[in-house]
Amino acid sequence: MEAALEAEGLAKRYGARQAVSDLSFKAPKGSIYGVLGPNGAGKSSTLRMLVGVLKPSAGHISMLGGSVTRSVLKRVGYLPEERGLYRNMSARAAIAYLARLKGMPASKAYKRADALLEAHGLGKVRRKKIKTFSKGMAQKVQVLAAIAHEPDLIIFDEPFSGLDPVNQRTLEDTIRAEAAAGRTVIFSTHIMEHAERLCDRILLIAGGKRAFEGTVNEALALAPSVAILETDGSFDLAATLAPKGFRIAYEREEHGAKRWRAELEGRDGSRRLLAACVEAGAPLSLFEPARASLHEAFVALVGAQAAGEQR
Amino acid sequence: MHPILLVARRDYLAYVGAWGFWISLITAPLLIALVIFAPVLLARAEPPRVIAILAERAEDAALVRGAFLGRAREDARTEIEAYLSATAPAVRDEALAAFDAAEDRARGIEAARQIVQQRAPRALQAFPIPSPRYLIVDPPAQDIEALRPYLMRVQALPNGQELYGVVRIRREAEAPVIEYWSVNLSHEEPSQITRLAMRLAMRREALAAQGLDPLEADRLEEFNPRVVHFDPRPSATGAGEVTLRQRAPFYAALALSFILWSVVFSTANMLLTGVIEEKSNKILDTILTSVTPLEILIGKLLGVAAVSATLFLFWGLIGGSLLSAAVAQSGETFVGQIAAAFLEPRLLAAFGIGFLAGYLMYGAIFLALGSLCESIQEAQTLLGPVALVLALPMMLIAPALDNPNAPLIEMASWFPLFTPFLLLVRAPAGLDWIEIAGMGGLMLVALAIVLMLATRVFHAGVVDQVSVAGLRARLSKKD
């Protein structure tokens, strides 16, 4: 697996506060890599260290086959969490300006800006000042500015925040298209659904430390499986099956039926639970094994408190 | 293009593309002209101030009335003299002689005008028509209580005019006592004119008491020794006599110093507001992967320096053309000599160096401060002490003109933050090369330190989002 980016023992300290400690991970070339964690977990600090804005207190970063130098950074596109553009510039000029700062010649930068704006439905307003744009349009321009110079590595910090569902979908498509073109995309988010849909690999961070690194499926496998059950009448499922080692929690009553949530253990957990219910004569009206979410995997990994700000 | 130049170019175009830039470009020379000419125009537009004289003795009233008329004649002569010195010095003396020979003020003005019409018709177009500052009228009542409503503007004079003041002269044991009644408490000129007139009266009376001719007092009043200033330095031109030619550079230096101060302050302010705007718009994080904080700082300094260069080019072309024309047209006149002083290469070089050093120092400081603030309001709390430092050289410029080598001025000019302004003011007085080199060296060292510290603060402000409160802790530890 060839890595587009590799971090080893990365750490960042702000005064007495340790924002990131001993963080190591590899983002494979051409992959979509998610950096996940609650607010304040150290995601932005990590990404800012990757793009050279922040100097790490410790650790080493290898990017696109070398150290993080000025020439390597020219091949990186970055969308910061705290983002904005010159409000009095036109969309076209803003994209071209940022592409030129990355070393793209002026004529090519303007052509590329025009092409990107046209492709993303902003062709007609390309000469309008950004201050006349809606928030969603401005954010779209910012994303385009980050990829205008055709970087090999794209780093987006919380790219979905502030976008409506339609624009979130559009951005997901853009990320997929960039990856399909052979570029590596790393993005941070605290919304797990985006990562589940997009990422090949993820890095879960909590308290500035690595909680997990691997594929989405590997992460999901770490989460406990659950089943949702409903019983009629006053039957107490939790009390009946507790002596047999089943952990079942009562959730609520709906239309005269009681709803329960049971944790499943092992590959045949759902089969054993169903057998126990039948054996106990439970009046079941629903038995539904549920797929664990990335959030549940995260809770399982770092605990409910550390993951408290998820969703 | 190098990222520094791209940042500079963007900032330059952003400022030059704004309406405000063009408005200030055009209005600044107009405002300067307004500041120069407004007091003169206002004074001319003001109607004469109506004064009534109330005296126990008729001869006192006549003497004071004569003094006011004499002052009006003297003012008219001064105005004509100044105008002809600037526009037609060749006919000045002849015109003034005609003025002096005339019976009264009005005839004097007309006589001078006739000379100008015959000998220098081009200068007739703007020939002054001075109006007297005071109009002496008979008092509408004979005691102060009755005059009070007129003085308080409750009641107008029979001809509709408002009474500005009343000069009352009474006698106490034969000695005159002057009372001046007016609601304009800070204006003392009428009482001064009266005092001088009554002093002459007292001298006449004293001479008469001694059995001498009282008019001897008038003759003695005319004694007025000629004063000549000399410059003892070997570098002084001619026999060392100080004329307007030698004084003009001091006035030019004072004016250039004020201009330098205003330009440095306003351009540094542009940098401050620019960086605050970028911080509040969250742009800096976007460009930090392409440009280092130092490059942003240098780019911004260059961009606004280019804006200043554009302003100077525009104003310089206009000002230079006007000054050159003034020198060519009226080289030996007051205007011509002042204009020539402005075009003195050494003074312009001192201005250029002063601007460069002052702009870089204050610009870097303002940029660093701006990087710590999220809003103009926040910046204003920080700007207080900096504005005070900037105001200090301004307070020293006027005394420096009086004595450019005063110990306080000399010491202050060695303080690098003041050097750009005070070096310029001291330049016409003659500075040793050692002094120039020393001050220049110190300024360069200070500039390097300021730039280094500003870069650190700017880095902390834009990269680490350090606020004002966190700055001290940040500076005290190594990154």
CATH code of the domain containing A284: 3.30.70.120
Position A115 in a domain = yes
CB-neighbour burial class of residue B76 (10 A; exposed 0-12, middle 13-18, buried 19+): buried
Side-chain-side CA neighbours of B306 within 13 Å: the count stands at: 17
Assign A309 a pLDDT band (cuts: 50, 70, 90): very low
CA geometry: angle at A40 spanning A34 and A44, to 5°? 50
CATH label of the domain that carries residue A47: 3.40.50.300
Distance between A151 CA and the closest CA of chain B, angstroms: 13
Q: Which of A51, A97, A145 comes nearest B10 by C-beta?
A: A97
Please state the φ and ψ torsions of residue A64, each to the nearest 5 degrees.
50, 40
Contacts of A79 in chain B (CB under 8 A): 286
Do residue A154 and residue A12 come from a single domain? Answer: yes
Joined tokens for residue B104: 């009264």
Evaluate whether ipTM surpasses 0.85: no
Percent of chain A with pLDDT over 90: 47
CB-neighbour burial class of residue B435 (10 A; exposed 0-12, middle 13-18, buried 19+): middle
Do residue A203 and residue A122 come from a single domain? Answer: yes
Position A299 in a domain = no
CB-neighbour burial class of residue B121 (10 A; exposed 0-12, middle 13-18, buried 19+): exposed
A54 reaches B (C-beta below 8 A): yes
CA dihedral in degrees (A30, A35, A36, A42; nearest 10)? Answer: 180
**CA–CA separation, B251 and B253 (whole Å):** 5
**CA–CA separation, A150 and B56 (whole Å):** 100
Domain boundaries, chain B: 48-221, 244-476
Q: In the predicted model, is pLDDT for residue A306 greater than 90?
A: no
**CB atoms closer than 10 angstroms to residue B321:** 10
Assign B60 a pLDDT band (cuts: 50, 70, 90): very high
By residue range, what is the domain housing residue A14?
3-213
Residue B479 has a pLDDT of 43
Q: Could you tell me whether strands B49-55 and B134-137 are parallel, antiparallel, or unpaired per DSSP bridges? A: parallel
What Rg do the C-alpha atoms of chain B give, in angstroms?
30
Question: If you average pLDDT over every residue of chain B, what do you get?
Answer: 85
Joined tokens for residue B433: 């090369």
Do residue A230 and residue A85 come from a single domain? Answer: no
Beta strands in A99-208 (DSSP E): 153-157, 184-189, 201-206
Do residue A178 and residue A70 come from a single domain? Answer: yes
Residue A310 has a pLDDT of 41
Cα B153 to Cα A200, B157, B165, distances in angstroms: 91, 9, 10
H or E element in which residue B55 lies: strand B49-55
Give the mutation candidate from B15, B282, B285, B471 for the A interface (greatest A CB count, under 10 A): B285
Find, in chain A, the residue whose alpha carbon is nearest to that of B280.
A84
Do residue A109 and residue A27 come from a single domain? Answer: yes
Using an 8 Å Cβ cutoff, are B421 and B401 in contact? Answer: no
Do residue A170 and residue A260 come from a single domain? Answer: no
Find, in chain A, the residue whose alpha carbon is nearest to that of B291.
A101
pLDDT tens readout for residues B317-369: 888 888 787 777 666 667 777 777 788 787 888 888 888 888 888 888 888 88
Q: Which amino acid is at A165?
A: P
Do residue A152 and residue A35 come from a single domain? Answer: yes
H or E element in which residue B250 lies: helix B244-280
Number of domains in chain A: 2
Assign A308 a pLDDT band (cuts: 50, 70, 90): low
Assign B238 a pLDDT band (cuts: 50, 70, 90): low
**CA–CA separation, A301 and A218 (whole Å):** 12
Residues pairing with A35 in the sheet: A188, A203
Q: Which is higher by pLDDT, B27 or B116?
A: B116
**CA–CA separation, B361 and B444 (whole Å):** 10
Joined tokens for residue A224: 């406990």
Q: What are the residue ranges of helices labelled H in B89-188?
A: 89-101, 105-119, 144-151
Assign B2 a pLDDT band (cuts: 50, 70, 90): confident
Please state the φ and ψ torsions of residue B477, each to the nearest 5 degrees.
-120, 155
Do the chains contact at B286 and A53, CB–CB below 8 Å? no
Q: Please, what is the angle between helix B244-280 and helix B345-371, to 10°? A: 20
Give the mutation candidate from A45, A48, A51, A53 for the B interface (greatest B CB count, under 10 A): A53
H or E element in which residue B35 lies: helix B19-45
Which of A186, A213, A240 lies at the terminal end of a domain, its last residue? A213
Position A305 in a domain = no
Do residue A278 and residue A209 come from a single domain? Answer: no
3-state SS assignment for residue B53: strand
CB-neighbour burial class of residue A28 (10 A; exposed 0-12, middle 13-18, buried 19+): middle
pTM of the model: 0.73
